[in-house]
Structure formats: structure tokens, C-alpha cells
Amino acid sequence: MNKMKTSIQFINHASVIIKGNNISVLSDPWYQGDSFHKGWNLLFEISDEQQLEVLNNITHIWISHEHPDHFSIPFFKKFSDQINKRQIKILFQDTKDKRVVKFIKSLSINYIELKDNINLKLDEAFSVTCLKNGFYDSALLVTNQNEKILNLNDCDVTDKNIAKKFLSKTGEVDVLLTQFSYAAWKGGIANKKWRIGAALEKLNTMDLQISTFNPRFVIPFASFIYFSNKENFYLNDSINKPGDVIDKFKHSKSKIVILKPNDLIGNNFDNYSNVESIDFWNKHYAEITQKKINVYDTLNYELIYENFLKYCERISIKNNMTFIAIIRSISPIPIFQPVVANIIDLNITLKFDYVSKKIEKTTEAPMICLKSESLNFIFVNSFGFDTLTVNGCFEEGIAGGFVMASKTLAIENLNNLGISVTPSFIFNFFIIKLFILRLYRVAKKVNM
């Protein structure tokens, strides 16, 4: 086989360096600390000195999306001086809200906004194309000396139609990088059947991607974490490990390449052995029970109430509350309704409604059950509910409670995309369809 001219160095989790002769693009740096509000930790962390060494060997940083395991704010704050000194440019998808580029700009770091499906040459041999996907994900197609490397990371390329649309933009590729295990709430502690199914579904998704893009090499990544909170630790019971990927694709014509931190692979792709890297990761998976377990603090009701009022104000600024009130009164589907949540550590159940701006104690059956710090996090941060759906630090109080709550709490997911709930919102059919489909998929699996 022809040897690869492009080299790839694995750094950690979803972070790799794709190297050409003059250009080196680092993806999604997150190397230390927890993510998703004390919900995730890395299986293996790298030191500040190692991170500086990484920055000394790159020209660009690509951020796939705003989730904190891909866009680590602490990383950019800590190393902004070094990034500026090295004149490293940030690559990020063009978005309506501009939240990420505003942050990057605040650190005086240079950036380039990538238009969807528009090729950008970084030098004569090396170019990148950003491919937007779903609500906020994006993939990156790197072309170097006629070799194609497709970094899919978390993109929802899970059915043939979506895969074919991607293929029409990328063509077949030489290297595919893709997530290999589930990375969000999977139905609560009692619903192990969903977790087992989700792990298998992720491997089947990889199979679809491999058959579609026909890569010579596949690098499974973006899953080297463990669920690290006392409230979600059970989610580790069914996660895929690199050995599961090897077993699934042992007869595939595409070579599976498992990398450990700092592994550099180039013209030796064909002869690379996975033995050392699988041993490395197996050791860290086996040690999960000895690794750090995060615990939430108990917050008082007065603080929660104060931040609920700020939450209401934040929503009212970005949306037409009169229109929301009308929609919820006439919609055949319950939407924007009050949410009932049991606050486990305070031993109270609260009913809150950002339309009427009321929060009160109740004896009603709760939709969801969570700790006081988790509820407060939703009220304090516009990305709070999105974080909760990923870290899974909650339980359903009644059957279908999560979907019920989502129809209200997901409003800030839309706002973060630059979409406000106003009369014109009803014409945004793509977003409405995507949102309903996601809720339907969740509802179906919760009841497995």
C-alpha cells in the first residue's frame, strides 16, 4: 500500500494534531479537570508542560463545537499568551450567536470563521472544510497532498441518508476519526438495557460510517472519559472500550488504529500495532473505581430562588413571553409548561415556571429528580440544561418526565443557537423537526 504523507498525533480524548509539511492543526484541546459540571473526567490527564509542547508544534486549533470537552475555556485562558506568542489561529464554524468567537476575541487571539462546506486553503498542499451537523456539531475534512482525513468527532452521522449527504461533500477518505462510545444520559440507573443498546448502536454507527466513507484507517477517539459524579457513575457500566471496537471490526478491510496519548503515526499506519495502546487504556478503564468521583454541594433554597429570578429574566430578554404564553395555551402538545422537580438533597419538590416567573414548593409528582447544585446550574447558566442532558446527573420522577421537562427547559438550547421563540419561530421548520425527532428518540428509548 502507499504510505501516508500526512501524520496524526493523538493528544487526548478528541484532540489530535493533523500534520502536513508546513501546517499542523490541533483539534478540541481539553486535557485537565472535569467537564459538564463535574460530570465527566478524562481517563488520563496531561501536564501543563506537555500542553505547552503541543502548542509549540502547531499552527492552528480547530474547535468542533461548544461543548466543554471540545471547547475548554480553562485551556484557552491558561494558554492564551502562548497561543498569541506562537500566532496560532483558531478555526471555528460560522454561527449566528458568535459566542465562541467573541470569547476568543476577548483573549486577543486570532481566529477564522469557517463557512459551511467551503474549502479553505491553509497552504498550497493543506486545506480544511468545515461541515456543520445538527444543532451545533461540525466535522472537519482535512485534505493534504491529495490525502483526506475526516474528523467526525461527535457528529450525528447515524443513518444512511445523513451519511450519504456527508459523502457527497467529502468523497471517500483515507482516515476516519470518530466517537466510539455513548456520551450522554441513558435512561436512569434502572435502564441498563438502554445503555447496552446505546453501546451497540455506537458500534453499528461506526460500521455505517466505515462502509460509507471506505477509509483505509479508522481512529476511534472522543470517548476517553469516565462518568465521574456520584450521581452518574453508574453510566460507566456499559461503555465501549477500545477492545470492543477491535472485536467488532476484526474482519473489516479498514484498519482500526487505537492510539494512546502522544502516539504519532505517519507512514507507519499499515504496520502499526495496537497492543501497547490497548494495554494502556485497559489499565485506565480498570482503575475507574479508584479515580476521582465528584460530589455536588447542597445549596440553600434562597440562593436557588434568587437565581431562578435571574433565569426568568434571561429567558424573557431573548424570547417573546406573550407569544410563549399563547403557544402553551393552544398547543395540542404540552410545551413551555411549568416544570416539577424533586430536589433530592433538600428533600423538597419545586414547581417553577419562567412564564409566570413563579417558583414554589409542591406535592405534585416530580418530572425529574436532581441535586440542588444541578438545578441551580440550570438557573445560572444558559447552557445548564444542555449540560444536564449530557452528564445525566438526574433521575426521572415519573415515566416520561424527562421528555416533559425538556419541552420547557430546552428553550435556552435554541437561544444559544441564536434562535428566539417569537412568532417567526414557527416558520423555522428544520429546527422544529430536529427538536421533535430528538425528543421522540429519547422517549422511545426511555420506555425500552
pLDDT of 214-226, one tens digit each?
999 999 999 999 9
pLDDT category, 424, cuts 50, 70, 90?
Answer: confident
Q: What is the pLDDT of residues 310-323, one digit of tens each?
A: 999 999 999 999 99
Q: Please tell me the number of Cα atoms within 13 Å of 175 on its side-chain side.
A: 31
Query: Is the pLDDT at 445 greater than 90, yes or no?
Result: no
| CA atoms of 382 and 314, how far apart (whole Å) | 8
Could you please report the per-residue DSSP string of 273-342?
A: --HHHHHHHHHHHHTGGGS--B-PPP--HHHHHHHHHHHHHHHHHHS-HHHHHHHHHH-SS--S--EEEE
Tell me phi and psi for residue 365, to 5 degrees.
-65, 130
CA nearest 47: which of 8, 83, 12?
12
pLDDT category, 123, cuts 50, 70, 90?
Answer: very high
Mean pLDDT of 68-75: 97
- Give pTM, 2 decimals: 0.93
Query: Is the pLDDT at 442 greater than 50, yes or no?
Result: no
All three cell numbers of 152: 467526525
User: DSSP label at 296?
Assistant: P
Q: Longest Cα pair distance anywhere in the chain, in angstroms?
A: 68
Amino acid at 255: K
CA nearest 395: which of 207, 230, 231?
231
Cβ pair 233, 195 in contact under 8 A? no
